[in-house]
Structure 1
Amino acid sequence: MWDFFASDMGKVALGGLIAISGQLLVFLLGWAKESRVSQKKRTSDAQHLGIRIVLALEKLLVDCVRAVNDPTFTDNEGYTRSMVPNPDFTLPQDGDYRSLPTGLMYEIMSLPNKLDAIKEGMSAANEYADPPEYEGYYLYREEHLSKLGLQILPLIESLCDKYKIPTPERSDYYDPKQNLLGHLARIADYYEKRQNAQKNARVDQV
C-alpha cells in the first residue's frame, strides 16, 4: 500500500485525497457553524414568541378578572347593565407555534375557540335571563370567565418556566387566582342555597 502511494500515480491519488478531505472538512465546519446559528435563531424566535404569548395571555387574564368583578349599573329604565366589556383575545399571528410542546400548544391555540364558546353561551343566557336584573346572564358570565381565567394562569406559568421569562408583575393587592376562586365559591354557594330553597318549597307544597 505504501509502495503505491510512493509511486507517481499514488502521489497523485494522495494529493487528490488530501484535497477532497480538506474540502470535506471545510464543508463540515461550515455546516456545523450554520447549524449552531440556525439553532440559536430558532431558540431566540421561540423565546420571542413565548414572550408575546405571555403578554397576550396576561391581558386576557386581566380582562377576565375585570369582567368578573363588573360592578354593573342600573339604567334609567331600571335594567341592569354592564360597565366592563367582555374580553377579546387574539393570538400573535406571526410565529411558529410548533416550537411549543404539543399539549401547551393545543391549550394556547384553543383559547380563542373557548372564549367564543363562552360568548355564545352568554348570548343564550341573556335571551333566557329575567329582566330587569338578568341574573342568569351575569351568573353565567361570572362563572365561565372565572373558569377561563383560572385556565390561563398555568399556561402563563408554563411559558415563563420553559423560556426563562420573568413572571408578569402584579400588585401585592392583586391576586387573580384567589379572586377568581372566590367568585366560583360564591356562585357555588348561591346555587346550593337556591337548590335547598326549591326543595323546601316543594316539601311545603306536599
Structure 2
Amino acid sequence: MGSLNSSASVVADAITHPVTVQVINQGPGIWGNVATGLITAGAAIGAVMLTHKFTLRREKSASEEKQQRERYFIATELVFLLEQFAEVCASVARDNGFEHEHAFAPSHPLPELDYAAVTGDWRTLPVRLMYQLRELPVLKSESDRTIDAADFIGPEYDEFFEARQYEYTRLGLKAVILARRLRKLTGFPDSRLNATPWSAQRVLWEEWRRERKRRSVQALLHARALATFEVKNDMRRKAAGDASDSGEKV
C-alpha cells in the first residue's frame, strides 16, 4: 500500500512540474519550439566546426607557402654555389699543368666548396637530397687525400695530374646532378652548363668517359701483367722442383 502511495506521489509531482504543465497547456506546438532550439544549437555547433576547419586550412596553406618560399631561397643559393664549383671542376678536369722551374705545376687550383654562406633553411629540402648535398664536401676531402697520396714523379707527373682530373671530374658531375635536382624540385629553368660543347657539364662528361676508358684499359693491362707474373713464378717453382728431384736421384 505504501508503495502504491509513493508511486502516486511521483506521478502527481511529474504532472505538476512546470515543464509538464507547459506541455499540457501548449499541446503539440511545444515540440516545434524544441526542434527550433535543437536546429539553432546544431547550426551554431556546425558554424564553429566550419570556422575551425577553415582556420586550420588557412594556417596550413600559409605554412606551405612559407616553406615553399624558404625552399626557393635555399635552392637559389645552392644551385649557383654548386654550378660555380662544377665550372672550376671542369677546368681542373682538363688541367695537364704547365712547366715551371723544370717541373710541371697545375694551371688551375682546386675549387673550394663551403656551405657557410648558405643562410636558407635546410629542413625545407627532401631528406635524401639534403643528405647528398651535405655528403659532397666529405667526398671532396676524400678526393683531396687521394690526390695528395698520388706519386708526384717527373718529368710529366702523370699520376698526379690523372688523379686530379679523375677526382674532380667525378665531383663536378655530382655537383651538376645535385644542381639539376634542385632546379627540378623548385621548377627553376634548366641550367646553361650544357649549352655549348665547351660548357662545364659537357666537358665533365667527356672527361669522365675518357678517363673511365683509360682506367678500364689500365686495369686490363694490369691483370694481364699479373697473370704473366704468376705464370712465370709457377714455371720457376716447377723448374726448381725438377732440379731438386734430379739431385735426389743422383
- State whether TM-score is above 0.5: yes
| Contact 2:183–2:190, Cα closer than 8 Å, also in 1 | yes
C-alpha distance in 1 between matches for 2:215 and 2:142: 24
For 1:67, the equivalent position in structure 2 comes to: 92
Change (3 A) 1:16 1:84: same
Aligned-pair CA distance for 1:119: 0.9
> Quick one: which amino acid aligns to residue 33 of structure 2?
A
Larger Rg computed on CA atoms: 2
For 2:200, the equivalent position in structure 1 comes to: 176
Change (3 A) 1:21 1:182: closer
| Contact 1:5–1:14, Cα closer than 8 Å, also in 2 | no
| Contact 2:96–2:161, Cα closer than 8 Å, also in 1 | no
C-alpha distance in 1 between matches for 2:173 and 2:159: 21
Change (3 A) 1:3 1:119: farther
Which of 151, 159, 183 pairs up with 1:136? 159
**Which ranges of structure 1 fall in alignment gaps of 5 or more residues?**
none
C-alpha distance in 2 between matches for 1:31 and 1:62: 46
Change (3 A) 1:14 1:184: closer
Aligned-pair CA distance for 1:120: 1.4
Measured on the aligned residues, the alpha-carbon RMSD in Å equals 3.2
Q: 1:69-84 to 2 correspondence within 5 Å?
A: 69-76=94-101, 78-84=102-108
Structure 1 window deviating more from structure 2 (20-29 vs 39-48): it is 20-29
Q: Deviations over 1:62-114 (max 9, x none)?
A: 010011122521112x1111121101112353333333233222211100111
TM-score between the two structures when normalised by the length of structure 2: 0.64
Change (3 A) 1:20 1:116: same
Which of 142, 155, 162 pairs up with 2:185? 162
For 2:114, the equivalent position in structure 1 comes to: 90
TM-score between the two structures when normalised by the length of structure 1: 0.76
C-alpha distance in 2 between matches for 1:110 and 1:194: 28
Change (3 A) 1:17 1:65: same
- SS of 1:172's partner is coil
Structure 1 window deviating more from structure 2 (43-52 vs 180-189): it is 180-189
**Which ranges of structure 2 fall in alignment gaps of 5 or more residues?**
1-28, 233-250
2:57 equivalent to 1:32: yes
C-alpha distance in 1 between matches for 2:44 and 2:221: 90
Aligned-pair CA distance for 1:40: 0.8
Aligned-pair CA distance for 1:32: 2.5
